[in-house]
Amino acid sequence: MIFSRDQLKVRLQAICEGHSVADQARMKVYESDGLTAKKQLPWLVLLPATIEQVQLIMQLCHAHQVPVVARGAGTGLSGGAMPHHEGVLLSLARFNRILEVDQVNLLARVEPGVTNLAISDHVRPLGLFYAPDPSSQIACTIGGNVAENSGGVHCLKYGLTVHNVRKLVMISPEGERYELGSEAFDSAGYDLLALMHGSEGMLGIVVEVTVKLLPLPVEVAVLLAAFTDVGQAADAVGQIIDHGLIPAGLEMMDKLAVQAAEAFVHADYPLDAAAILICELDGSSVEIEQQQALLTQVLLEAGAVQVRCAKDAEERRKLWLGRKAAFPAVGRLAPDYYCMDGTIPRRELASVLSRITDFSQTHGLAVANVFHAGDGNLHPLILYDANQPGQLERAEAFGADILRLCIERGGTITGEHGVGVEKINEMCVQFSADELSVFHGVKAAFDEQGGLNPGKAIPTLQRCAEFGAMHVHRGQEKFAELERF
């Protein structure tokens, strides 16, 4: 049965038993995700709490061709959860229960609105943890982690979300329930479980997630190494791996980021360092002792002027706190900041950092660098003031320069924050028209009508043509060899 728009609204609200938001003022909360520069009010916000409710919502929206944008905690940094003006914003925040912990198979079955940290907190008394730990873990949800294939500071050793999820319960755009993966290690047919990771809510609605749990390591050591030269710190990363060491985490911060973090949380960072590396080792006591000695030696040989090992749990917590609070800390330095997320081969770290310093001068904006050095995943934070005319545009141009540099050096425009609305133009640089067509084909295989999160993640060929033209107009012919269409 087909309803008028107003009737449909009433129906949809009734499905959620009043858990909905329709007035403009109250919908403001949902107008953006963590990328606050991109805002849009939805037509309607719905907060279902059961799988059946989600199915009914999807069925109705599909029949009426109403777009649906799923949202977890809204901590995403690429506008992936930015609402559609004619669509439903489907908040999964009320799906917040941990349903089951399987201590034999080391699995936790949870609803998608459970926060990342809540899983590890819940299973810690059992001696277990959930490995991926994005810095926003206190707030971000596991459903959002699947949509973005989130990493974190420990993914060098323990992998990304895709490596730590066994099974998903999905709702199709037509409202059908289906399962991907299983409690076993693999499943028959195509690896649709992997395909769903990082798909940014474009292929289906995640309503249940089964994650893999790991035994907590016996011992943990956290080392801090200070360098007087950024290039030396960057090169030390490759040398650590060259010695056969795979730390549980390996992070780098430059001077501005260190100073901001220190002023914000007093992590006891060396303020005179050009860059610091934070390195975590885990394992048995003897193992840690041996690895720590080797790591210290490698760091000193790489030019570290100071290597310090946290003495106790409190000092370890403080060293990590500075890193995990780096974004808000940098946020105190300027009215606005723009966080980038390119990934490059590790060997390019030093030279890419030096190019970013050049860009900073060209665009006249300061930049603080925080990154997952072990994975080559950069998070340059460009500082600007949106109230100063032209600064937002300069910040975006600066960001685009960094992303193109990442592609040029054999990397990618996004390591873990997703494309969303933010990096959609850069997708035209990273992929050819034929490759983008394959992505559109994948989308169509799951969502023929295109109602899920429309306009995100994958640019239309038309959009790329316009973007390409824009660049020729500005005389930026660096990618002139790329296909235009």
Partner 1 sequence: MVVERAIQDWQAQIQGALAEGTRLRIRGAGSKDFLGEVGAFDADINTQSHQGIIEYAPTELVMTVRAGTPLATVKAVLAEQRQYWPCDPPSFGGAGTVGGAIAAGLSGPGRVAHGAVRDLVLGVGIINGAGKALKFGGQVMKNVAGYDVSRLMTGSFGTLGLITDVSFKVLPLPAAEVTVARVETVEQAHERFLQVGRLPLPCSASAWFEGTSYLRFSGSNAGVEDARQTIGGDVIAADIWSRIRDHRLDAFAAAKTVWRISVPPGSQAMLSQSSLLEWSGAQRWLLDPGFDPRSTLSEGHATLFRAPATDQTQRFQPLSAVVGGIHKRLKHQFDPQGIFNPGRLYQEI
Q: Looking at 67, 74, 83, 151, which residue binds partner 1 (CB under 8 A)?
A: 151
What sign results for the dihedral spanned by CA atoms 316, 322, 323, 324?
positive
* CB-facing half-sphere around the CA of 108: CA atoms within 13 A: 27
- 422: contact with partner 1 by CB under 8 A: no
* Helix H or strand E encompassing 451: none
Q: Which of residues 191-250 bind partner 1 (CB under 8 A)?
A: 191-192, 194-195, 197-199, 203, 215-218, 238-239, 241-242, 244-246
Residue 450 to residue 173: CA distance in whole angstroms: 9
Query: What are the strands of the beta sheet with 98-102, ordered from one edge?
Result: 98-102, 107-110, 205-212, 165-171, 177-181
Site for partner 1 in 353-382 (CB under 8 A): 372, 375-377
In the complex, minimum distance from the CB of residue 264 to partner 1, in angstroms, rounded to a whole number: 26
Q: How far is the CB of 28 from partner 1 (least distance, A)?
A: 28
Nearer to partner 1, 229 or 287 (CB): 287
Half-sphere exposure (CA, 13 Å, Cβ side) for 123? 25
Rounded to an integer, what distance in angstroms lies between the CA atom of residue 68 and that of residue 57?
A: 9
Q: Is 450 in the site for partner 1 (CB under 8 A)?
A: no
Residue with tokens 């992303």: 403
Binding part of the chain for partner 1, among 69-77, 155-163, 322-330, 461-469 by CB under 8 A, reads 155-163
Contact 222, 310 (CB under 8 A): yes
Alpha helix (H) ranges present in 149-284?
A: 155-158, 161-164, 192-196, 230-242, 255-265
Say how many CA atoms lie within 13 Å of 130 toward its Cβ. 34
Q: Which is nearer to partner 1, 161 or 360 (CB)?
A: 161
Taking CB under 8 A as the rule, which mask of x and - marks residues 287-316 in contact with partner 1?
Answer: x-xxx-------------------------
- Of 3, 446, 467, 479, the residue at the interface with partner 1 (CB under 8 A) is 446
**Residue showing tokens 């990771």:** 197
Q: Does 27 bind partner 1 (CB under 8 A)?
A: no
Q: Do 32 and 79 touch, CB atoms closer than 8 A?
A: yes
When the beta carbons of 142 and 267 are compared against partner 1, the nearer one is 142
Min. distance of Cβ 459 from partner 1 in angstroms? 10
Compare residues 286 and 470 and give the one whose CB is closer to partner 1. Answer: 286
Question: In the set 17, 86, 100, 102, which binds partner 1 (CB under 8 A)?
Answer: 102
Q: Give the nearest distance from C-beta 471 to partner 1 in angstroms.
A: 18
